Amino acid sequence: MSIFTMESDQGNLVESLYKKIIYITRITASRRDYIYGAALSVYNPYGEMMLVKETFDQAFGKGYFHYTLNPETADILDLGKFYDLATNMTEVISSFCGHYQVLMAIHFNEEQYHIHFIANNIDYITGNRLDINRHRLSKIKDCINTILMQHDVSVIRKKDNNGQVLI
The rounded mean pLDDT for the chain is: 91
pLDDT at 112: 80
Could you give the CA distance from residue 25 to residue 146 in angstroms, rounded to a whole number? 26
Domains, the chain, in order of start with CATH, read 3-150 (3.30.930.30)
pLDDT at 105: 98
pLDDT at 13: 92
**What is the full per-residue pLDDT of the chain (167 aa) written as tens digits?**
888 888 876 778 999 999 999 999 999 999 999 999 999 999 999 999 999 999 999 999 999 999 999 998 888 778 899 999 999 999 999 999 999 999 999 998 777 889 999 999 999 999 999 998 888 988 999 999 999 999 999 999 766 666 666 65
Cα angle 92, 134, 38 (rounded to 5 degrees) comes to 20
pLDDT at 53: 98
pLDDT at 87: 97
pTM of this prediction? Answer: 0.91
Could you give the CA distance from residue 64 to residue 11 in angstroms, rounded to a whole number? 9
3-state SS, residue 145: helix
Q: φ and ψ at 90, to 5 degrees?
A: -60, -45
Q: Concatenated DSSP letters for 37-105?
A: EESS-TTSHHHHHHHHHHHTT--SSB-EEEEEEE--TT----HHHHHHHHHHHHHHHHTTTS---EEEE
Contact criterion met (CB below 8 Å) for 63 and 15: yes
3-state SS, residue 20: helix
User: In what helix (H) or strand (E) does residue 7 lie, and over which residues does it extend?
Assistant: strand 3-7
Question: What contacts 24+ positions apart, CB below 8 Å, involve 79-84?
Answer: 79/34, 79/113, 81/151, 82/106, 82/113, 83/34, 83/36, 84/151
pLDDT at 89: 96
pLDDT at 11: 74
